[in-house]
Homo-oligomer: A and B are copies of this chain.
Amino acid sequence: MAGQLELANLNLDRGSREPLPDQLVAAIESRIVAGVLAGGVRLPTTRDLAVSLAINRGTVQAAYRKLAERGLIISRVGSGTVVRENSPVSVDFDPARLLSRRALEVTPEAAAAIAPPVIADFSRLTPDERFFPLEEFVRTLSTALTRRPDLWQYAPPPGLPELRREIAGRLAEHGITRTPDEILVTSGAQQALDLIFRTFTDPGDTVALESPTYPGALALARFAGVEVLPLPVGAQGADASALFGRRAKFVYVMPERQNPTGVTASDASRRAILDGAAAAGALVVEDGYEEPESGLSPLAARDPSRTIWLGTLSKDLVPGFRIGWVAASAQVVDRLARIKKTADFQTPLPFQAAVAEFLRVGADRRARRNRALEVEARRIAAERALRTHLPEVAWSGGNIGDALFWLQLPPGVSGRRVSEAAAARGVGVAPGADFDPRGQDCPNIRLSVSRVDKRQVETGIRVLADAVRLVQSQSGIRAMPVV
């Protein structure tokens, strides 16, 4: 029998510090756990096994006794020793049973796949790589790499000094005064946010988030097991009132062209967020994912001791970089850097060096200007098409220079169903539920022209309008006539 053969082949280690009976128990137990010895399989007699392993019979008896005590085997006079059916140890090893409670909270995304042929993908806010001066960047990178073999080594987690200097210079243009020591380079802004959650929250803590907000922050909040205090975003920005009378660890906001609503927070709203954060004893995390353009002072300039600024090149230029940064007090930067060290040691230095040079010569500004002209052409096309094909739909965002529109569909129309219906017709949009702290469906979708050529914008929006009407009619909601 296979089970017996397997046992006979056991190689016990006589030189080990582990007593032989324990070795034998472990060897048999692991085979029961692994299912090699199934329930009902008869084990060799103690005499036979002792002989085949060339060990003392007492050793085998001691091992069988322990296994019987653990409920793994049963010895009966006359019928010998058998592996117990339904033994307390699992026969199939299932790593899913070992998952942490927080890992169970992280569900895979269920974005509707856009059916080919793809007409237009309005679902993504990531920039179009064609505006990125790729060759210039590759030359910069190659030069940096060849001249600087030190870039291939480990380095202090906060980042390359020359990049931190360049970032400090860029921040100063927006009134944010930070020394290079107050800047931490991260592997994208997502990592920065992850480090902030890990450094400042325990399960059960409260974190205030705009509602709707960036899905990457919602995923981290679920993973961290924190309670989310939603701050509804209105036409002037997030409403801070919920913060008064509460305690929170931090308040995460995007005052400039908020994702997904496109709302730029008013001066009063900015002040209210800072007042509310002060009242709640909270840090403020200001996500500057878009270059500030409103001319209104960022929160990080108004209350530097309380505010952590997140910056990135991903949204403005290319996401493949995975270069982001945090600007905060030296104390906060030090704490975040310690956690970063345990997370991935450091962001690759060669990229940091190339990005530093790229910023130094202003290549990012040229790329941004090129992109801005084209995005504006796309935005105009989108605005025109929306007015033509979805005249009943209102939106926020969609102002000059914006890549995104946050559409308010007619009441009762499911954003999720519209997004599915559009995807089935080759057009991608992001349903409002993706941005909702509770994941609730709502009559909203986010439409981004970031990656859609202006010639496709009109067609794409026409198809989207068809999807809206289909969902309306299926929901028994009277469709508005097309003007």
Residues of A within 8 A of B (CB): 11-13, 15-18, 22-23, 25-27, 29-30, 33-34, 89-90, 93, 95-96, 98-103, 106-108, 126, 129-130, 132, 134-135, 137-138, 141-142, 145-146, 149-154, 187-188, 190-191, 194, 198-202, 205, 216, 219-220, 223, 234, 236, 239-241, 244, 249-250, 266-269, 271-272, 274-276, 278-279, 281-283, 303, 305-306, 318-322, 329, 331-332, 334-335, 338-339, 341-351
Contacts and interface: CB of A to CB of B under 8 A. Distances in A.
A278 B152 contact: no
A236 B297 CA distance: 64
Contacts of A146: 134-135, 138
Given A26-B272, A134-B145, A152-B320, A187 B344 contact: yes
B241 A22 contact: yes
A154 B322 CA distance: 9
A265 B395 CA distance: 64
Contacts of A348: 320-322, 348, 351
A313 to B, nearest CB: 11
Contacts of A102: 198, 202
A69 to B, nearest CB: 11
Contact of A278 (B16, B30, B223, B306): B30
Contacts of A89: 281
A33 B275 CA distance: 9
A173 to B, nearest CB: 25
Given A100-B200, A274-B30, A342 B22 contact: no
How many copies of the shown chain assemble into the complex?
2
26 contacts: A13-B269, A13-B272, A16-B236, A16-B268, A17-B234, A22-B241, A23-B272, A26-B272, A27-B271, A29-B275, A30-B275, A95-B331, A98-B200, A99-B335, A100-B200, A100-B201, A100-B202, A108-B338, A151-B320, A153-B318, A153-B319, A188-B344, A194-B344, A220-B342, A322-B346, A348-B348
Q: State the majority secondary structure of interface residues on A.
A: helix
7 shortest interchain CB distances as A-B pairs: A13-B268, A152-B320, A30-B278, A26-B275, A30-B275, A152-B318, A191-B344
A322 to B, nearest CB: 5
Contacts of A190: 342-345
A152 B351 CA distance: 13
A373 B145 CA distance: 25
Given A132-B152, A152-B318, A272 B18 contact: yes
A100 B103 CA distance: 18
Contacts of A334: 108
Contacts of A194: 342-344
Contact of A126 (B154, B321, B349): B154
A96 B241 CA distance: 25
B149 A26 contact: no
Contacts of A23: 272, 275
Contact of A191 (B129, B151, B343): B343
A200 to B, nearest CB: 5
A338 B103 CA distance: 8
A339 B106 contact: yes
Contacts of A202: 100-102
Nearest to A149: B129
A193 B11 CA distance: 31
A244 B306 contact: no
